[in-house]
Amino acid sequence: MDTEKNLAALELALQRLREAEVALNAARADVETEAVAAARAGADIEEVAGLCGIAPGDLRQLSADLGDIPPR
């Protein structure tokens, strides 16, 4: 009985972890998109990189990879 209870608790913890990972990935994608949009709008690349933690070279590569960003 205790084993079933422990496994149920583990399954719930794993589900919360998966949900948190999905949310983290979505937030990371939002930061990348907004950083590229800010840089494209004329913000200083170094300043954008400093705020978001993305290296300037990586930010430039993201810009090339993302192509057109649809307006919100």
Quick: pLDDT tens for 4-47: 888 999 999 999 999 999 999 999 999 999 999 999 999 999 99
- Residue 33: burial class (beta carbons within 10 Å; 0-12, 13-18, 19+): middle
The torsion angles phi and psi of 61, rounded to 5 degrees, stand at: -65, -40
pLDDT at 1 over 80: no
pLDDT category, 67, cuts 50, 70, 90?
confident
Q: Where are the domains of the chain?
A: 2-66
pLDDT at 55: 94
